[in-house]
Amino acid sequence: MNPSKHVQAYLAKRRRRKPGGIVESESWFFFWRYEGETVYRSKSLRCVDKQVAHSKYAEALRELEHEASGLGPSNALRDAQRRTVLEHLGDFCNVKSTQGRDSMYVYNLRNHVEKICDDCGWSTLNEICADGFEAWRADQAISPRTMNAYLEDFNALLNWLQRRGRLLENPLRLVERVKAVEDIPKIRALNDDEVVRLLGVAGDRQAVYLLALTTGLRRSELRTLVWFDVHLEAVQPYLLARASQTKNAKRATMWLRADVVHQLRGIGCATPSPAALVFAQGIPDMEVFRADLKAAGIADVDPMGRKVVFHSLRHTLATALARAKAAPRIAMELMRHSDVRLTMKTYTDAALLPTREAMEQLPSWRIACLEASIATGTTHDVLTSESGTAHGTVKVVREGQNVSSGVDVCSDDDLTESPGGKGSRSTFDAQSLGVSRDAESWGSRIRT
């Protein structure tokens, strides 16, 4: 409302024309309009006593003048303050469901907000405060990630209320997220041997596990998969994940390998109904999954505290793609991620990457006269003379080719001598040999 406008108001009983004449209401009404408006608005004061009506009239007029001047809360704010937090939460959850958010998100959102309100004793919006939330958080024996999830869900509600004009500002806007002490993933991927053992004991659940391992489908996506979306007879068999079923609300095409096609044909009838669920027996819950892990000899928690859960199958796919040297953009697409960092950092299990094999692929920089001694383990004898030092000229070989006619080899004494002291400090001139600076830093100086 424009603060420059004045309020024009009066107190009266409403009169209506009815058959037989004009009828006056029993209750008093508050009539008002802002300067420049032609029509009066009305509001029942819900009283028949004129003295009480005058008191309510004065209060209503004062509120309107404050609102017009920007000194008081709007009607939307006043109405919102009268409602409980849980009533606002119900409205917010309904909006999220209408927007297409999955039922699990709405379920977790409702549970998080209800728990905080119940533990903190918050009933209305005026009672929510940062100090109360931080005191509640300090008493919780939950992980930093879960604490941050509680904060994010409550902030989502409060920010929505602020955008809707139901809240002046978010009281938790300055509450900081909890920083994790250790950056250790809580879920690990399975290695190849563990995958084989898990599939070997899975029985009729083998198709579920194999499809999850090769497509990265989540539990909720597997649960709603129907035969209409599975195309086993195509030249290149594939399945379609509908936008209404995927986490990112995007349609995706997933190619099926021959072994997966074989498994899916084994669980379906000759002509399955298009609307029938592919996994009519349901997706294994955690109790069944843990039993399969135990039967396969796989620990559900490793020494680092990382767990093996159904979502580990999705982590296993990301790790297998990295090991297969799939381009990061391709891996991101197959994982249906919006950010390649999520694929590479969160879902790829670094402990299973072939880092040692990659190191073996690096070029080799070796000194020719040491080749034989390295093989026989007599390097020290070759480099050390009777006086404890060995100055000589040796050949350097890179990738099996001679790249230098001579390089000085120096001892620790020479390396510690300042220029101009006992002898001159001998160095490995990598540039003159055509060797990179990396090679120089990887041991181009030989020490006894």
pLDDT tens string 289-326: 999 999 999 999 988 888 999 999 999 999 999 999 89
Distant-in-sequence, close-in-space partners of 128: CB < 8 Å, separation ≥ 6: 85, 122, 158, 171, 172
Over pLDDT 90: what percentage of the chain?
A: 42
For 14-169, where are the alpha helices, taking DSSP H only? 50-69, 75-82, 85-98, 103-120, 130-138, 144-163
pLDDT of residue 303: 87
- Would you list the domain boundaries of the chain? 7-72, 82-163, 192-352, 365-441
Residue 139 pLDDT level (bands cut at 50, 70, 90):
very high
Q: What is the mean pLDDT of residues 389-407?
A: 45
More confident residue, 269 or 331: 331
The Cα–Cα gap between 212 and 207 comes to: 8
pLDDT reading at 368 higher than 80: no
- Tokens (6 digits) for 93: 């959850």
- SS3 call for 121: coil
Q: 82-163: which CATH architecture?
A: Orthogonal Bundle (1.10)
In single-letter form, the type of residue at position 208 comes to V
The Cα–Cα gap between 398 and 364 comes to: 6
Element (DSSP H or E) covering residue 9: strand 7-18
More confident residue, 226 or 248: 226
Distant-in-sequence, close-in-space partners of 43: CB < 8 Å, separation ≥ 6: 29, 30, 32, 60
Look over the chain and give the mean of its residue pLDDT values, rounded to a whole number. 79
Residue 161 pLDDT level (bands cut at 50, 70, 90):
very high
Sheet with 396-398, strands from edge to edge, namely 365-367, 396-398, 401-402
Q: What is the mean pLDDT of residues 127-139?
A: 92
pLDDT reading at 145 higher than 50: yes
pLDDT reading at 12 higher than 60: yes
Taking the mean position of all CA atoms in its chain, how far away is CA 315?
13
pLDDT of residue 249: 77
pLDDT of residue 130: 92
- SS3 call for 244: coil
More confident residue, 249 or 352: 352
Q: What is the mean pLDDT of residues 27-40?
A: 87
Residue 243 pLDDT level (bands cut at 50, 70, 90):
confident
The Cα–Cα gap between 8 and 26 comes to: 23
The Cα–Cα gap between 390 and 151 comes to: 66
Q: pTM here? A: 0.53
The Cα–Cα gap between 30 and 58 comes to: 10
pLDDT reading at 359 higher than 80: no
- Dihedral sign (CA 212, 218, 223, 225): negative
Class level of CATH domain 192-352: mainly alpha
The Cα–Cα gap between 14 and 42 comes to: 9
Residue 440 pLDDT level (bands cut at 50, 70, 90):
very low
- Dihedral sign (CA 218, 220, 225, 229): negative
Exposure b/e, 35-46, CB count within 10 A at least 16 = b: eeeeeeeeeebe
Contact 331, 322 (CB under 8 A): yes
pLDDT reading at 366 higher than 60: no
HEC per residue, 267-324 = HCCCCCCCCCECCCCCCCCHHHHHHHHHHCCCCCECCCCCECCCCHHHHHHHHHHHHC
Q: Could you say which DSSP state residue 176 is in?
A: P
pLDDT reading at 131 higher than 50: yes
pLDDT reading at 274 higher than 80: yes
pLDDT 10s digits, 64-98: 777 777 665 566 677 777 889 999 999 999 999 99
